[in-house]
Amino acid sequence: MTRAEQMVRDMLGRHELGHAFLVEADQPETGDRVMEKLAQMIQCQEGTGCGHCASCRAFAGGNHPDIIRLSRAKESYGVAEIRSQLVDDIGIRPYSYPRKVYMIPQAERLSEICQNALLKTLEEPPAYGVILLSAVGRSALLPTVLSRLMILPARGELPTGEGISREARTLFAEKLGRMEYMDIGEIRGLGEELAKGGLPAAETLLLWETYIRDLYLARAGQKERLCFPEAEEAIRQQALRLSDEALGRLKREVSLAKERLKSNVNSQWVIEVLCLNFRQVLTEAKEL
């Protein structure tokens, strides 16, 4: 259980639940998952997210009448979307349950205009209204918005690369930082070079996950939490160019590489393919 879930469970137990929260996570998927768990817990008839009551069953079936997940048509939310899905809708009383819960995933995608449109609702929601925002960090949110939110930390147990030598970590960060400038010949055999530097394939994939985490943190302006501070500028530049879709693709490539290792595929080939795919993602982002 994350600290965010424990905090909400305690508030429910004391009957002191607030009205507006920010689920602060390291990655969008973590924030999304925890936010959904909190919405289920808040509406649960047991106050625990039991999974068995009528509310939990409705939520699991994707047809809960009083849990609303905001959607957006483009990269960022539009003012009309915020008003129609939340600001105007929250005035309608719950259909079946005591509360009405709104979820805003990836709240860093709220423009300044959208955030200002939310201010009054965040400050004075109806007694039955609960608003959950999730975001990677909090730097994208206005101080006026943050002042109306209770922060719920939801950082998952993410890899940090601890236990791997500093020399190997530095070599890895240096290679990924200049990956897009390496030619195919340099990339081929990179798995062997990393292994000679004290970094076998399994540990390389662990650092890949850590590097992707740093890309998310850099996008959120959380540079003080980077695990690869020595590659801060390269990470920042890459993070500015990579979309959510591109970062999701990188994560899938790492997951596929881990499966290949489990299947006893040649480890150096696995790392080489992963590096080539990363270079391709960066190249495509540069061309956009």
Each residue's pLDDT tens digit, 193-219: 777 766 777 778 888 888 888 888 888
Number of domains in the chain: 2
Parent domain of 77 = 3-153
Taking the mean position of all CA atoms in its chain, how far away is CA 32?
7
Whether 177 and 201 map to the same domain: the answer is: yes
Considering the domain architecture, whether residues 107 and 183 belong to the same structural domain is answered as no
Q: Is residue 160 part of a domain?
A: no
What does 214-269 look like in DSSP terms, one character per residue?
HHHHHHTT-GGG-S-GGGHHHHHHHHHH--HHHHHHHHHHHHHHHHHHHTT--HHH
Distance, in Å, from the CA atom of 288 to the CA atom of 82, rounded to the nearest integer, reads 28
Q: Are residues 31 and 122 in the same domain?
A: yes
Cβ(199)–Cβ(222) below 8 Å: no
Give the whole-angstrom CA distance, residue 157 versus residue 106.
20
Q: Could you read off the pLDDT of 14-72 as tens digits, one per residue?
A: 888 999 999 998 888 888 999 999 999 999 998 889 889 999 999 999 999 999 999 99
3-state SS record for 130-148: EEEEEEECCCCCCHHHHCC
Q: Note the pTM of the prediction, 2 decimals.
A: 0.64
Which residue in 69, 88, 90, 84 sits closest to 133, CA to CA? 69
Above 80 in pLDDT, residue 222?
Answer: no
Map residue 189 onto helix, strand or coil.
coil
pLDDT digits (tens, 9 = 90+) for 128-181: 999 999 998 888 899 999 999 999 988 654 455 555 667 777 878 888 888 878
Q: What b/e readout covers 187-204, taking b as 16+ CB neighbours within 10 angstroms? A: beebbeebbebebebebb
Are residue 21 and residue 145 in the same domain, yes or no?
yes
Residue 111 lies in a domain: yes
